[in-house]
Every structure is written in C-alpha cells, then in structure tokens.
Amino acid sequence: MLSTLLFDNFNKYARITDTDFELIEKVLAKRFVKKRRSLLTEGDISRYIYFIEKGALRSFTVDKDGVEHIIQLGLEDHWIGDLSSFITQAHGNVSIEAIEDSEILLLPHHELELLYVQVPALERYFRQLFQRAYVSLQQRLSSTVSQNAEERYRLLVSDFPQIAARIPLIYIASYLGITPESLSRIRKQLLH
C-alpha cells in the first residue's frame, strides 16, 4: 500500500475498501519537496490537490505591496491546495511552499473526476471535505471580524497544538494577520 496514512484518512469519513484504494493509488504521484521549495505558484492552474504524508507547508497570496498573507498551514495527514483553482480549473492566485522537508501525494483533478464514478465512496469523502473547507473558510472570515489576535491565537493553539509547536512564529503571525512582534507579545502574556 502506497500510503496507510491516506487510506486511514479516507476511512475516517467514508468506507473505502482495499480494492477501491488500489484504483485510487494508480492515479496518485509521490513527490518530495525540500524546505522553502515551491509546489504551486500564483497564476498556475491547480491541477492537483496535495495530501501531506510528512512535513509542513503553507499556502499564501501576495498583495500588491508584496506582503504575504498565509491562507493555510498544513501538516501531515491533511490536504493542502488552491481549492478554488482546483475546482474551477482556472488560474489561481495562491502559492504553496514547504516549511519543512515534505513528502506529498498528488491527486490529479481529471483522474479524480473519473474516480468518483468508479468509487462512489470517494464522492462521500470529498463532499465532506468540501463541507469542512466551506465551514472553516466561513469561520476564518467571522473570526477576523469578531475576535482579537489573542483570541485567534488561543483558538489555533487549542485546535492545532502541533502547528503552534512546530511552525515558525513568522508564519503563524502572517496566518493570524498580525506582526511577528505582536505575536511574541501575546505568547509572553499567555505564559504569565
């Protein structure tokens, strides 16, 4: 089996059999991405979504002043990608880079569309994945409006303790939409 991590992840949400998984494995490609190397660049069409086997990556946009805004911080056992571009197969505005040396499985758009027919349980899995993505985008939006930086940091630590522990401060600050200095101050206050 190419990846027991992905197999188990599928089976958290849908009933994917060994036979199903053999079909899925056929279209997966494996890639190693060194720290600081790029997986997707702004302007690309996102032909894949990426399942993180090992490591850590970030997805981000860059505004007209050249400032990076982090959309997602992803660790192993999670998907990362430019979902909008992947869904529409139009040019996206998201870049993805590795924060640590990473191992990635690539699931191609066209093959996934064909797999939905062969493996209906995949439809269930991705219906739920898109539901969760929608909810988390919506929550991200609301929390930017209704919570201050400290509350958002507390929530990140409680939801994703691994991210707070492993990801460099500069990226967490960008994800929260604050300066690294502000995040340092918040961390110090929380220690007291």
Chain residues that interact with a copy of itself, rule: CB under 8 A: 63, 83-84, 87-88, 93, 116, 120, 123-124, 126-127, 130-135, 137-139, 141-142, 145
Q: Please, what is the end-to-end C-alpha distance for the chain in angstroms? A: 48
C-alpha 50/C-alpha 61 separation (Å) is 17
Shortest reach from residue 139's CB to a copy of itself, in Å = 7
Give phi and psi for 73, each to the nearest 5: -110, 120
Q: Provide the 10 A C-beta neighbour count for residue 118.
A: 10
- Which residues, including other chains, have CB under 8 Å from residue 128's CB and lie 6 or more apart? 13, 14
Shortest reach from residue 58's CB to a copy of itself, in Å = 17
The DSSP call for residue 73 is E
CB of 145 or CB of 191, closer to a copy of itself: 145
CB of 8 or CB of 123, closer to a copy of itself: 123
CA gyration radius for the chain? 17
CB of 93 or CB of 179, closer to a copy of itself: 93
CB of 41 or CB of 138, closer to a copy of itself: 138
CA neighbor of 50 nearest in space, from 40, 42, 63, 41: 40
Shortest reach from residue 172's CB to a copy of itself, in Å = 21
C-alpha 6/C-alpha 111 separation (Å) is 17
Lookup result for tokens 């539901």: 131
Shortest reach from residue 120's CB to a copy of itself, in Å = 5
Shortest reach from residue 7's CB to a copy of itself, in Å = 20
CB of 72 or CB of 102, closer to a copy of itself: 72
